[in-house]
Chain A
Amino acid sequence: MRFASLTAGALFLSLAPIAFGQQAAPAQNQGRGVGQGLAAPPNGAQQGARGQDGQAGGRGGRGGQAAAGPAEPTPRWPDGKPRLGALPGQPGGLWNGGGSTADATTPYQPWAKAVSDDRRANAMEPHTRCKPSGGPRQFATPYGVEILEMRDLQRVYIFDNGGPHTFRTIYTDGRAHPADLAPSYYGHSVGRWEGDTFIVDSVGFNEKMWIDRGQAPHTEKLHIIEKFTRTDMNSMSYELTVEDPGAYTATWSRTSQMSYRAGSELFEFICQDNNLAPELLVGTHEKVDRSSVIVP
């Protein structure tokens, strides 16, 4: 009996922060939030109204400096390779866009088309439940992403600002994908350069997330190739190629554009706080009830 009570107590205490996680806001943030106690982000990345990501501040302003006049040329490393991220001595910069995927021409298997249609009708995206979003969905998070090249460590990191505030690692040391991968949200990514294009090859995705906002269902057989070509200071061509024999009848590709916001920086964004779909986090509801009062 004592053991059972202690177990129950421990479980309760472990869950309590989830239900009662409200803490006093730091003094520096008080009075600056936009509803639900959300603090205004620093560095000009302004919070917007609640967006379709189901989180306060969902897809708001992205801050930074908008491009004015002709864009500067592609920034380069001393060896001539394009820089994917910010320049030394500058405050940073974030990339937005690039999340487009499937459309009416996509060679869906019948079940994948039906699931895609269902997703569009019901929009219960894992991202709204603070799940990491692999592949192109990573670039469609609020406020953009930071691409960080760690040349000495031979890897590139792509940091999300929205969602669960996570990152993807792209190995550039020439390694291959492991033979026996445990499926994961971001999968396993390796990168290489071909001319001015950085090519990322990724496999090992799980089926717990969407790779976009719902258009492209996938299975664990998913293999994606992403080609990043920074065409000038503020522009990046993003070409996505999807191979998934579990969901599609053929390989398909899509190209979209990403834009750079110099001066924007990542800030602390915790999806679990201020989430307008708390029921979905614990799996009790099938629909998001946005009519209820949100208590931060």
Chain B
Amino acid sequence: MRFVGSLCLVMALAVAVPMIAQEGFPLTGTWSGDYGTSAKEGDRTQTTLILSWDGSKIQGLVDPGPDSAKIKAAALDSTKWTVHMEYDMKDASGKLVPFVVDGTLQNPASRHNRMVVGRYVHGSKKGDFKIKMD
């Protein structure tokens, strides 16, 4: 049963991948990944970002749903492919605190392996941050 389920998943992904190519502004699209203070599973938090480009600035939504956050500031330096993003996320006490990401856009023209890898600071916490274009 597990094998059959895995087979279905692999086949579905094989069909889906060619449908998500994004050849325009390199950050436009849906990104998913995680961040955390360490590599331990319990320290990781899953995240989803939906980013778009209006011609002059990057806009977006982080973790669509009840606790979603709007991108307050974001920048892509295409000379170094560095990415900077700022938004507010709730901390453990439920208080909104700034969440700042500084990373590098890897494989900027790749359709299948485009990633933002870097570091984040969220209040008193900081760690690594990694998202991949869906």
Contacts and interface: CB of A to CB of B under 8 A. Distances in A.
Nearest to B13: A283
Interface residues of B, number: 33
Interface of A: 1, 4-5, 7-8, 11-12, 15, 109-111, 113-115, 118-119, 122, 124, 126, 129, 131, 207-210, 217-221, 245-247, 281-284, 286
A126 B21 contact: yes
Contacts of A283: 14, 17-18, 111-112
A15 B7 CA distance: 12
Nearest to B27: A111
14 contacts: A8-B11, A12-B7, A110-B78, A114-B81, A129-B18, A208-B23, A209-B23, A210-B23, A219-B28, A219-B53, A246-B54, A247-B55, A281-B18, A283-B18
Most chain B CB within a 10 A radius of its CB, from A15, A114, A131, A282: A114
B92 interface: no
B39 interface: no
Chain B at the A interface: mostly helix, strand, loop or mixed?
Answer: loop
A140 B8 CA distance: 39
A126 B76 CA distance: 24
A126 B20 CA distance: 12
A114 to B, nearest CB: 4
B109 A124 contact: yes
B75 to A, nearest CB: 10
B1 A207 contact: no
Nearest to A118: B109
B24 A220 contact: yes
